């Protein structure tokens, strides 16, 4: 009888566990097999994880992320229910890093900013998967992305996304806007990078960079 009761409870519970058909859209790699091999040369495999602010910590987490970012989540599409896709990269059995992308509102369209990160949270490469900009060519030039390599969240805390200025001298100062036409999209890409790094610190790095944030609160 106990087994039958258990079966009935299981059926009753699964009846309410259907996913919503109208969830927000995240930022995935267009062709993960090809893109992971290209962005992470030497990798042999990857695992995909889906995380959202809603599920990870809800409103409290959203407020913490906004505080660390120094800006509010804005508009129709930057919401707590956006599912973030994180690619965990392996070489054999060893985890060698992550790839994570975020959507960001640009001047003329959406930007999809992907970061390739090592296990310590340092940027190994920067990639615009999608970009609509009058200076798209300059922004997609490898020399622009190379300016982000080696930086981490501790560096980006020195950049204030609201005022679009650095609050203390640092390595982010070295990132130059490639074209006067691209100012809005340039700042949007800096915001996207900082947001991306904060999300990864919250989701995967165990908030190891939180101490740097407190140290740089204006």
Partner 1 sequence: MISIYKVSFKNLLRKRTRTILTIFGIALSAWVLASLLGFNKGYEASLSRDIDNMGFQVLLTAKGCPYEAATLMLKGGTGLRYMREDVVQQVTGEPEVERVTPMLMQVVFDPNKGESGGISAYLGVDPVTFPKMKSFLEFRQGGWFTDPDAMEVVMGYEAAELEQREAGDMLLIPEKEVELKVVGILKRSGTQDDGTIFMPVRTVQTLFNKPGELTGLGIKVKQDADIVAFEEKLYGLPDVQVVSLAQVKQTIMNLVSTARIMVFSIAIIAVLIAMVGVINTILMSVFERFQEIGILKSIGAMPWDIFKLIWIETVILCFMGGVVGTAMAFGLSKITEVLIRNLLPYAPTGSLIQLDARLVIMTMISVLLIGVVSGMYPAWKAARIRPLESIRSEGN
Region for 32 from its dihedrals, namely left if φ exceeds 0, alpha if ψ lies in -120 to 50, beta otherwise: alpha
Query: Which of 25, 60 has the CB closer to partner 1?
Result: 25
| 12 versus 60: smaller Cβ distance to partner 1 | 12
- Token pair listed for 191: 């915001």
Site for partner 1 in 125-144 (CB under 8 A): 128-134, 136, 140
Query: To which residue do tokens 């622009």 refer?
Result: 144
Contact at 8 Å (CB) between 191 and 104?
A: yes
Q: Which of residues 21-60 bind partner 1 (CB under 8 A)?
A: 22, 24-25, 30-31, 34-35, 38
Rounded to 5°, the CA angle 52-104-163 comes to 110
| C-alpha–C-alpha distance, residues 28 and 101, integer Å | 7
Given the rule CB under 8 A, which of 4-12, 42-50, 55-63, 148-156 is the region that contacts partner 1? Answer: 4-12
Asked whether position 187 contacts partner 1 by CB under 8 A, the answer is no
Q: Which range, of 47-55, 69-77, 171-179, 204-212, touches partner 1 by CB under 8 A? A: 69-77
**Residue 18 engages partner 1 in binding (rule: CB under 8 A):** yes
H/E segment holding residue 191: helix 183-203
Residues 121/152, Cβ–Cβ less than 8 Å: yes
Under rule CB under 8 A, which residues in 86-105 are in contact with partner 1? 103-105
Element (H, E) at 123: strand 123-130
Interface with partner 1, residue 77, by CB under 8 A: yes
Site residues, partner 1 (CB under 8 A): 1, 4, 11-12, 14-15, 18-19, 22, 24-25, 30-31, 34-35, 38, 75-77, 103-111, 128-134, 136, 140
């Amino acid at each position: 009888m106990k087994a039958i009761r258990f079966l009935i409870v299981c059926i009753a519970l699964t009846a309410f566990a259907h996913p919503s058909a109208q969830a927000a859209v995240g930022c995935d790699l267009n062709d993960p097999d090809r893109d992971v091999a290209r962005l992470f040369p030497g990798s042999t495999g990857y695992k995909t994880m889906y995380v959202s602010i809603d599920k990870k910590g809800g409103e409290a987490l959203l407020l913490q992320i906004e505080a660390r970012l120094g800006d509010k989540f804005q508009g129709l599409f930057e919401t707590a229910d956006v599912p973030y896709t994180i690619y965990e990269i392996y070489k054999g059995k060893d985890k060698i890093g992550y790839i994570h992308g975020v959507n960001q509102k640009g001047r003329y369209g959406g930007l999809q900013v992907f970061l390739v990160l090592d296990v310590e949270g340092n940027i190994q490469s920067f990639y615009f998967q999608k970009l609509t900009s009058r200076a798209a060519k300059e922004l997609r030039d490898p020399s622009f992305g190379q300016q982000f390599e080696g930086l981490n969240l501790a560096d980006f805390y020195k950049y204030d996304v609201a005022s679009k200025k650095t609050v203390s001298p640092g390595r982010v100062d070295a990132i130059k806007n490639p074209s006067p036409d691209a100012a809005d999209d340039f700042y949007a890409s800096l915001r996207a990078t900082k947001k991306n790094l904060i999300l990864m610190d919250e989701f995967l790095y165990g908030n190891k960079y939180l101490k740097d944030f407190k140290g740089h609160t204006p």
